Structure 1
Amino acid sequence: MCRDDELDAWLDVVADGFAHPDTQGVPTHEDFPRDVLAHAERDFAAAGVVHYIALRDGSAAGGGSLRTADGVAQLTGAATAPAHRRHGVQTALLSTRLTDAAAAGCDIAVVTTQPGSKSQQNVQRHGFHLLYTRAVLVKQHHQPTP
């Protein structure tokens, strides 16, 4: 778990991971400035969301969070810094959060990933099944031709 004094390091590594999305799967169209992410995550922590930081060779390599309520675990906010990808960071975060969720009495867990991504593959290897695919439609604004 992430201690209070590690929240800034958590924010840095998660913001870095989100700023450099993996190229596998459907690309995301969401982009959040670091200050917005920081404010939201501090609010989440105050509301009981638990943050997890993963270290690799002594450096912050990734982070994720966990919210539990009424027997349901919601795994959120997971990202791995680009330099640490493909080294088991996300798998370690996923395993730890699932263990903690089970210890908290959760019997179901949910997670959202980008379709076709390495994240989707990782969670499916841990027994998650696809419930639905969320379609995000984006309309390009075209200037009229004179």
Structure 2
Amino acid sequence: MRVADFANYMLRINGSAASMGSMFIHGQSGYLANDFTFEAFRGRGCQTSLISRRLSDARMLGLDFVATDVEFGTVSHGNMLKAGFKTAYLNTFWMKC
């Protein structure tokens, strides 16, 4: 699905939904979000493929900047590092005991 400021991506393997992700667009910036891979398809490079496709689309759209957020140390974090993303800042969680 694609509308002016949002694109939803679905990767299928043998006709079955395997993985999905989105790209929000605002002006000349993009934001990758909503990445998910069904458990049966994990470890097959699904997210790497979807990240690559969305970045390719961002280039075709002439976007100047693409960002995302992931939890530090996760598989998603590793996927974004492989795709060339760099850590901009770390989010911290606070609690009062």
* Deviation (angstroms), 1:138: 4.8
The unaligned stretches of length 5 or more in structure 2 are none
Q: Deviations over 1:98-128 (max 9, x none)?
A: 0111111112110110110011111111110
Matched, 1:94 2:51: yes
Aligned residues: 97
Q: Which has the higher contact order (CA 8 A, sep 6+)?
A: 1
Q: Percent identity?
A: 32
Structure with higher Rg: it is 1
More helix by share: 1
The unaligned stretches of length 5 or more in structure 1 are 4-44, 141-146
Matched, 1:110 2:59: no
The SS at the match of 1:129 is coil
* Deviation (angstroms), 1:93: 0.6
CA RMSD of aligned residues (A): 1.9
Matched, 1:85 2:61: no
Q: TM-score, normalised by structure 1?
A: 0.61
Question: Which runs of structure 1 show a deviation greater than 6 angstroms over 4 or more consecutive aligned residues?
Answer: none
Matched, 1:137 2:94: yes
Q: State the partner residue of 2:32.
A: 75
Q: TM-score, normalised by structure 2?
A: 0.89
More strand by share: 2
In structure 1, distance between residues paired with 2:39 and 2:96: 29
**Pairs within 5 Å for 1:12-31:** none
1:122 corresponds, among 76, 79, 83, to 79
Contact 2:5/2:26 (<8 A) preserved: no
